[in-house]
A and B are shown apart, each in its own frame.
Chain A
Amino acid sequence: MAETDTEIAVDDPGAPDDSSPAVTSTRSVELAVYVALLALALLLGFDNWRSGAGWAKDGPQSGYVPFYLCVILGAASLFGLFAVLREPAAPAKTFVTRDQLRRVLQVFVPTFAFVALMQWLGLYVASFLLIAGFMRMVGRIAWWKSVVTALVFVLVMFLTFDIAFDVIMPKGPIEALFGR
């Protein structure tokens, strides 16, 4: 018999509200993506045309295959663009609500900062800051738990990658103090 009386429950205090207003519709995002892809196809297509998209004596030139790929990409994006424009506008499907966007930025901004900091502080220090900071600020977990968890995780990563498997990560001033 399974012991179903013991339950596991985890709450999510900062969960996005279902009634939160929409920031943008799927339709607008789709349009933006198709325009961007069309621009990419034109840019890459031009570069390949410049480097030679025809035939040389010994077969296709280096730009031949990518040039025609750009043509297909451009055509598919145009098709998508017209398909979206021809659809009736209402009712618009929500791409992301304000609450959802807030939550997504709550991860994205720290991740961006983490990657930027990694170049100056090294991977391990930046990781410690990301994990401890995220747990404390976003997860509202007790600060000592956050710090201990981050410290243990970073230490395990260091021992696994740098020591055990010889996969060397970028280092910063703090590792330099320890001579690594």
Chain B
Amino acid sequence: MEALNLLLHGFAVLLTWKILAMMLVGLVLGIFVGVLPGLGGPNGVAILLPITFTMDPTTAIVMLSCIYWGALFGGAITSILFNIPGEAWSVATTFDGYPMAQQGKAAEALTAAFTSSFIGSLVAVLLITFLAPRIASFALQFGPPEFFAVYLLTFCSFVGLGREAKHKTLISLVLGLLLAAIGMDTVSGRLRMTFGFDPLLRGVNFLVAVIGLFGISEILLTMEERLALRGHAASIKLSVVLKVWKEMPRYWVTLVRSSAIGCWLGITPGGAIAASFMGYNLAKRFAKDPSTFGTGRIEGVFAPETAAHASGTSALLPMLALGIPGSGTAAILLGGLMVWGLNPGPLLFVEHKDFVWGLIASMYLGNVVGLIIVLTTVPIFAAVLRVPFSAVAPMIIVSCAIGAYAIQNAMFDVWLMLLFGVVGYVFKKIGVPLAPFTLALVLGNRSEDAFRLSMIGSAGDMRVFWSNGLVGSITTLALVLLFWPLIGRIVAVVRRPQHTAQA
């Protein structure tokens, strides 16, 4: 097994004191990020990205991905103890997790949440270990038309499969692509949409936008709500952990189902949020007594947590293999890759073996260490919520400003961050999704380059996107997904007369 050898090599890369220490720091910071209101996973990663600029890429990505694992774990703590989801993907965990805490079974619920998170991500990491190298080696044959088709597929699936109003998703996507095009055109060297304003020459930085959209706007939104909270303090004893683990095999069907849902939604741009709800709903539908869900069933904690973690982890698969992130956080990690001078895409597996396998190995190690940390230190992290928001909010704002400034040492970026904060606040309140914007902004230049290179190669003939079986089927699939809601409606219209005729 070649993958296993490479994985062992990855572990060898990891085992230095510096990397292990950074992993630990990343995990602890991540759990904080997950617990604190107004500071999400994508945001925490974006703010902390600047401190990794001086590290080597492997250490940097290991630390950042550990922040992400930590945030995934941390979200469960507040959901269960306080009925406040620290992250959107832990909303479904509150349904049964909080009732369990009210019945005095907080420790069981927390153990169940952490353990199932661990299982979900383990399944996803196994998938990455064995599938990602194959996809990458297959993608090595891709030319610009194939890459453009894959980008198109990503964008179209957002519009076609997203839950939000189609025109809002489209606006978000196109706006991201447009902002990505501001500044120097990489093919012709001409300036675009700068209006003679110098700071725009470098374009709109992706990370600055993310810090504003997710950091500043989240603070504004959080301030709107009543911030009073009341919840349970809990510590986890070893006997409780062992008891839950002994019960766990009984729920293997739920765990397997949620892992599969999570992996699928993680690889396609569905995301951890959709996965956690779907995992919960399916567990409920297939249960013998669905009415007991929501009253504090341990299965209602297993199902969403497994799915959320499987999805959050497998979102890194397309990022590693193709250079296309499966989630907002993966998009930020991708932005990081470019800052560290790595070119995301299938070549990573050939040119940067240490980096890729170090990262994959860190997913195994990070999840094991993360599980141990959260199981032992829950009381400390729960107590973080005692810190009043009026102290946390300005600190988050300062961290955001440091992050935005440090990316290019530009004051203009800090103002831009503030602007994106307001835009994010308004967009979230009128239901314009931000994930397509993020993805479009990070992939904008690469997809446009792929398009233009294909056009140059084919002398302007659009048929290049159907020139062989592979690129043709991806392009067709993309268009089918884009018009999926329309197709569904036509099918419904065609079918309805028959039904009425029968009746």
Contact = CB atoms under 8 A, between A and B. Distances in A.
A binds B: yes
Interface of A: 1-4, 6-12, 15-16, 26, 29-30, 33, 37, 44, 47-48, 51, 55, 58-63, 65-66, 69-70, 72-73, 76-77, 79-80, 83, 95-96, 100, 103-104, 106-108, 110-112, 114-115, 118-119, 123, 127, 130-131, 134-135, 138-141, 146, 149, 153-154, 157, 160-161, 165-170
Interface stretch (B188-196, B472-480, B489-497): B188-196
B226 A10 contact: no
Contacts of A154: 398
Nearest to B411: A119
B51 A110 contact: no
Contact of B54 (A110, A119, A167): A167
18 contacts: A2-B235, A4-B104, A8-B232, A8-B383, A9-B231, A12-B389, A15-B227, A16-B225, A33-B432, A65-B448, A103-B223, A115-B401, A123-B398, A130-B397, A130-B398, A160-B51, A161-B406, A167-B54
B228 A76 contact: no
A3 to B, nearest CB: 6
Of B81, B174, B389, most buried by chain A (CB within 10 Å of CB) is: B174
B151 to A, nearest CB: 12
A97 to B, nearest CB: 9
A161 B51 contact: yes
A107 B221 CA distance: 10
B298 interface: no
A135 B382 CA distance: 21
Question: Chain B: interface residue count, which band?
Answer: 35 or more
A79 B167 contact: yes
Interface stretch (B177-185, B309-317, B368-376): B177-185
Contacts of A26: 429-430
B46 to A, nearest CB: 15
Contacts of A3: 233-235
Of A37, A95, A127, A141, most buried by chain B (CB within 10 Å of CB) is: A127
B401 A4 contact: no
A135 B391 contact: yes
Interface of B: 50-51, 53-54, 81-82, 101, 104-108, 165, 167-168, 170-171, 174-175, 177-178, 181, 185, 187-188, 190-193, 195, 216, 219-220, 223-237, 240, 382-383, 385-386, 388-391, 393-395, 397-399, 401-402, 405-406, 409, 411, 414-415, 418, 421-422, 425-427, 429-430, 432, 448, 451-452, 455-456, 459-460
B224 A100 contact: yes
Contacts of A139: 388-391
Of A37, A119, A165, most buried by chain B (CB within 10 Å of CB) is: A165
A167 B50 contact: yes
Q: Is the interface of B mostly helix, strand, loop or mixed?
A: helix
B385 A10 contact: yes
Contacts of A15: 226-228
Contact of A8 (B231, B430, B456): B231
B452 A65 contact: yes
B251 to A, nearest CB: 21
Contacts of B390: 134-135, 138-141
Given A30-B430, A110-B394, A167-B406, 9 more contacts: A10-B227, A15-B227, A16-B226, A29-B430, A37-B171, A59-B456, A62-B192, A115-B414, A135-B388
Of B167, B389, B418, B425, most buried by chain A (CB within 10 Å of CB) is: B167
A115 B413 CA distance: 11
Contact of A83 (B54, B167, B395): B167
A161 to B, nearest CB: 6
B223 A33 contact: no
B393 A107 contact: yes
Contacts of B181: 65-66, 69
B50 A44 contact: no
A47 B195 contact: yes
B464 to A, nearest CB: 11
Contact of A7 (B171, B233, B399): B233
A165 B51 contact: yes
B171 A10 contact: no
Given A8-B382, A69-B177, A69-B181, A47 B192 contact: yes
A161 B228 contact: no
B405 A123 contact: yes
